[in-house]
Every structure is written in structure tokens, then in C-alpha cells.
Amino acid sequence: MTATDTHRAIDAVWRIESPRLIAGLARIVRDIGIAEDLAQDALVAALEQWPESGVPDNPGAWLMATAKHRAIDYFRRNTRVERKHEELGREGVIQKVGTREVRAGEVDMEDLDAALDDDVGDDLLRLMFTSCHPVLASEARVALTLRLIGGLTTDEIARAFLVPEPTVAQRIVRAKRALAEKQVPFEVPRGADRVARLSSVLEVIYLVFNEGYTATAGDDWMRPALCEEALRLGRILAELAPQEPEVHGLVALMEIQASRAKARVGPSGEPVLLLNQNRAHWDQLLIRRGLAALSRAEKLRSEKLRTEKPRAGKLAAEKLGGARGAYVVQAEIAACHARARTPEETDWARIAALYDELAQVAPSPVVELNQAVAVGMAFGPAAGLERVDMLISDPSLEKYHLLPAVRGDLLNKLGRMEEARVEFERAAALTRNTRERELLLERARTCADGSKPPQSQ
């Protein structure tokens, strides 16, 4: 094996093993920054030794063993512990290794073997919850999660989101510092806190997926690598938290949306909107996986209702029965499209009703805009336009390019071509994605010359 082959092997092993390494070490040292440094030390050792000795038969185990040695070195050279040990004399200093308390200088390989090898799945779940902690800004949560759980380099994250590498590096450094300063515990939250924290984890994964599915800026309509990474993170989370309906709902949503990836981009990289897509190019395997995940989410929800209703009062029980999570509802909407063999078979009335349900559990002007699209498809463009016009004065949509884009489409269908042209041009001026701008300007031109524009959606 050449040196280049060895380095490629190391990169591949690191991408797979680093989350497990960092998660296990974080439980021991209780600091994500230190845990990543120790894991990186193991990586450096591999880069130094494997080109000479060859890649081990079990490279993951080699990295873990090396990381354990680095963790022991960390405990032994910890200057704060040593200072306190000197001050306290013979009594020594108590510190934690996993769940066991030991005195400074007494940490050995057996302690770390037991601590690092125990509950690897729980460690990864802890790492997810910590990386996505609400104390961090959204951009910091995304960057830290892709770094620690996804195993991406700062350069890869920067290129994916079209931001300078130093910016991503600073986000990650500040995020780790904030977690340490706020003394965020490395744990899986329980009770009511778990619901809020899980919501943050799901939000981060979906933000990554959405950026890949429809890039907010740059020259590419899609960034498939980000979609794939979000799907991988979602599938991992579904294995670690198998009893959470919303986790399976998010996985279902991403699987079904990702099934359209090849049909969403034309030969030259141009966007192909939903109603113009060749549905034969939709990935049926991903659709089946998505529908299976949706079925799992609904089954879990039904099971929860059966167990919770007897303990709840009548009103509480009725409330429980009427509330599906936002990701499950969105997955149901995606499933409506996936089940339609042709655009004409799409059940737009059901989609409009599902958006109404979504507006109840996750109200937002964007949801109302999407509902207006569905209403326009189900009951005619005039009905859709009436709803869109109610959103024009909403300040949160002032610079949202899809508001004039949707309005332009509805005006076009009503034959109000000049008004439609103005809206498409306004939408083009607001978007930061080059491909989307070209599409919107093309739609504006078709309004000006009276030719048929591409279908919306």
C-alpha cells in the first residue's frame, strides 16, 4: 500500500471512528474540547505510524487504544490536579473516571477500558445533545455537530456553507468554549428538558439537510453531500433514540425529499421544479425507506397515546390525540407527493389540510405561504393569491424571495402577466442562489413574451 493509499485509509477510518472516540473521551474528561484534542492525538499517531507499519487489521480498536493512553497521560499531567494534590498532601485529590471516583495519579488502563468501552451508543447520543445545546447559536450548533459527529474538517464545512474557513474554525472554538464556561453537562437530558433539547438536535440536522436540498447561496442548486450527511446523522439518531416519533418523522421527511434529488437538477445543473420532474427518476428505495420511517413514527405515536391517555384527564387526552409533531406532518406532506404517480394525481386538498395541521403545531408565515401554494393548486389560483396577499405585510417575509415567487406564479396562472413579471424579478433580486436567480429571471421573461413558464413547486 502506498503512502497515499494509507492516508486515504486513515481519512476513511477517522470519518467513521472519530465520533465514537470523541464521545467516549468526552464522558471521561467532561470537556468536548479536550476530548477532541485527545482524539486528534490518536489521529496524529496513526498518521505517523501507519505509513511505516501498515494499517492495522482493526484500525478502530487501534485508535481507541491509543486514545486511552492519551487520556491517561492527560489525567497524569493535569497541572491543576497536581497543584491541588500538593496542597492536600497525602489525602490526594478525588476525580472521576466515568462513574468511578479515583485519586490523582491512580488512573490506569483498566479504569479507562471499562469507561470508554461502556455504552458507546449512549455516548454518541450525549455528544449529539451536547453539540446541539440551545446555549449555542444555530450556526455554532451546525458547525460543531458536523465537526464532531459528522467528522468533517473545518475546510469541508466552510466549502459546504460557502463561508471562510477561519469563520467556521472560530465558530467551533467559541462553541466549545461556551459549553465549558456554561458547564453544560455531558448527558442525555430527561423529562421535560429532553423534549426541548431533542427539538434542538432535530433542528440542526434539518438545517443541514435543507442547505443541501436547496442551497441558500452560491452557484449550485443542490449540495448533495450535505443531504447525505444529514441523512446519516438522522439515521444514527433514529438508532440511538428509537422510541421518539419525531426522530422517525424527520428521517422519513429527509428520505422522501432526498428521493427526488436526481430529478431536481437538469443536465446543465439547472433547477427542475416538482411538477416538471421525471418521476421515473425518483429513487424508489429512498421512498420506501421514508414511508417505512413514517409508519414507524405513527405507530410510536399511537403507542404513546395508549399509554398516556389513561393517566391523563379527558381534556388532556383529547389534546394528546390531536397533536402530531411538526416533522411527522411534514413527512405526511412529502408522502402525498411520493405516492402520486403523476402531478395530476397529487392530493392537493389533503396537502392543504396537512399544512393547516402544521400551522397549529409549528405556526410560522412560511408554513402559511406553503399552505397558500397548496390551496392554489387545490382550489384555484385566486384562492391561493388571496391567502398570499394576507402575508405581504408580514415583516418576517419582507426579504423572503419565495413570497414574490409564489405570488408571481399565481398571478401568471390568472393571466396577470405584467404583475407576475414584476414579482418574479423582485424574487430574483432577493435570492442569493445563482441557479434560482436564473430560473426566476427566465420566468419573468416568459411573462413578458407570453410563452408558457415552468410549473411552480
**What per-residue confidence (pLDDT) applies to 318?**
41
**What per-residue confidence (pLDDT) applies to 1?**
66
Helix (DSSP H) and strand (DSSP E) numbers for the chain: 21, 4
Measured distance CA(118)–CA(111) in Å, rounded: 11
Confidence band (pLDDT; 50, 70, 90) for 425? very high
Measured distance CA(173)–CA(299) in Å, rounded: 41
**What per-residue confidence (pLDDT) applies to 112?**
55
Asked whether the beta carbons of 30 and 118 are under 8 A apart, the reply is no
Please tell me which residue, 6 or 22, carries the higher pLDDT value: 22
Backbone angles phi, psi at 102, to 5 degrees: -135, 160
% of the chain surpassing 90 pLDDT: 65
Taking alpha carbons only, the member of 137, 186, 168 closest to residue 23 is 186
Instruction: Give the Å distances, CA to CA, from 184 to 168, 189, 257.
Output: 21, 11, 34
Asked whether the beta carbons of 105 and 78 are under 8 A apart, the reply is no
Q: Find the mean pLDDT for residues 430-437.
A: 95
Please tell me which residue, 87 or 320, carries the higher pLDDT value: 87
How, if at all, do strands 217-218 and 432-433 pair? parallel
Asked whether the beta carbons of 359 and 367 are under 8 A apart, the reply is yes
* Cβ-based neighbours of 313, under 8 Å, separated by 6 or more: none
Residue 377 has pLDDT above 60, yes or no: yes
Measured distance CA(267)–CA(284) in Å, rounded: 21
Residue 128 has pLDDT above 90, yes or no: yes
**What per-residue confidence (pLDDT) applies to 80?**
52
Measured distance CA(90)–CA(231) in Å, rounded: 53
For residue range 6-15, list pLDDT tens digits in order: 888 888 888 8
For residue range 322-343, list pLDDT tens digits in order: 579 999 999 999 999 999 999 9
Q: What is the pTM of this model?
A: 0.83
Residue 315 has pLDDT above 60, yes or no: no
For residue range 147-184, list pLDDT tens digits in order: 999 888 899 999 888 899 999 999 999 999 999 999 99
* Cβ-based neighbours of 337, under 8 Å, separated by 6 or more: 256, 274, 346, 351
For residue range 31-90, list pLDDT tens digits in order: 899 999 999 999 999 999 998 888 898 988 899 889 888 888 887 776 555 555 455 444
